[in-house]
A = this chain, B = another copy of it.
């Protein structure tokens, strides 16, 4: 089934304990689309860049099957830029600079031939911009997944709460789940958040794995213990791309299939952090992906007969 990815396409400059980069390709939609490309031959992208954005990056997205007809290129404007520095533990980072540039006035336009959407991934953006996408679709997609962050909870909570009524799956991290719900316990947080609208909630805990909740069940997928985490940038988006890419490729949105999708997302994210930026996500082989999935399976595998 088809997939529409909406989100940022950006330049990132990164510094981790292992090195630093100049402006490289980044952005939520980039990571989501690259990750989903291991499940779907084609996807549709809605995003915005400035005319400083090099054609070679667009070629790269196209090469991974992303239709960039919905990528607006703003003449005389500059692409969204973020630079950040990770601490030694890789779980915390400082933002050094954020230049919104083209994002300041981003009005997402869904091209006509995109509009029959089966699976919609709304990457982290201002909630009203995410809602603008939903408003353009003549029929509701089979599944809408929305990612957001604490900044929107701080400054645009009402808009976010409105959007939450229209989504199936919300993906946030543990601190954001606590902030949104006012509950420290993630189990209690999940109950409150599911009452806000989403039918499913994924709480991303980074190196500590991810939790998938619906109203009756909870599933936990570990993160793979890795020798080295080079650069966590994009891991959450890569997770989301693997999650929705797998679901769209199977067309099955049962809770059981979402469990599998969470493992696929986790596997994709475990690749993403092995190199800087998008580098590791550009040409994974089938064998690498299968072997990684097997590692995830083995990690929690145990024969267990209960009395």
Query: Which B residues are CB-close (under 8 A) to A303?
Result: 256, 260
Chain B nearest Cβ from A184, distance in angstroms: 6
Taken residue by residue from 35 to 62, chain A's Cβ proximity to chain B (1 for < 8 Å, 0 otherwise) reads as 0000000000000000000000000000
Query: Across the interface, do A259 and B88 meet the contact criterion of CB distance under 8 Å?
Result: no
**Which residues of B are found within 8 Å of A1, using beta-carbon distances?**
none
A234 to B138, CA, bound (A): 57
Bound-state CA distance A187–B188 (Å) is: 32
Q: A211-B225, A220-B222 are in contact. Are A300 and B300 (CB under 8 A)?
A: yes
> Distance in Å from the Cβ of A23 to the closest Cβ of chain B?
28
Taking CB atoms, residues of chain B closer than 8 Å to A286 are: 307
Judge whether A209 is part of the interface by a CB distance below 8 angstroms: yes
Q: 14 A–B contact pairs at CB < 8 A? A: A185-B225, A185-B228, A188-B227, A208-B208, A208-B209, A209-B209, A209-B222, A219-B300, A220-B300, A256-B303, A263-B304, A290-B307, A297-B304, A300-B300
Query: Given A208-B205, A263-B302, A222–B222 Cβ distance below 8 Å?
Result: yes
Copies per assembly: 2
Range of interface residues on A (Cβ < 8 Å): 35 or more
With a cutoff of 8 Å between Cβ atoms, the chain B residues found around residue A220 in the complex are 222, 225, 299-300
A149 part of interface (Cβ distance < 8 Å)? no
Interface hits, A284-307 → B, CB 8 Å? 286, 290, 293-294, 297-300, 302-304, 306-307
A282: CB under 8 A from chain B?
A: no
B-side contacts of A298, CB under 8 Å: 217
Find chain B residues with CB under 8 A from A187 CB.
225-227
Residue in chain B with minimal CB distance to A221? B300
Known: A220-B299, A299-B219. A185 touches B304 (CB 8 A): no
Assess whether B184 is in contact with A89, with CB atoms less than 8 Å apart: yes
Bound CA–CA A299/B88 (angstroms): 31
- Interface status of A229 (Cβ within 8 A of chain B): yes
Shortest C-beta distance, A296 to chain B (Å), equals: 9
Interface residues of A in 98-156 (CB under 8 A from B): none
0/1 interface trace, chain A 184-209, chain B, CB 8 Å (1 if under):
11111000000000000000010011
Across the interface, which residues of B come within 8 angstroms of A299, CB to CB? 218-220
Given contact pairs A256-B303, A260-B304, enumerate 18 new A-B contacts (beta carbons under 8 Å): A89-B184, A90-B184, A185-B226, A185-B228, A188-B228, A208-B209, A219-B300, A219-B302, A220-B299, A220-B300, A222-B300, A259-B302, A263-B304, A286-B307, A290-B306, A293-B306, A294-B306, A300-B300
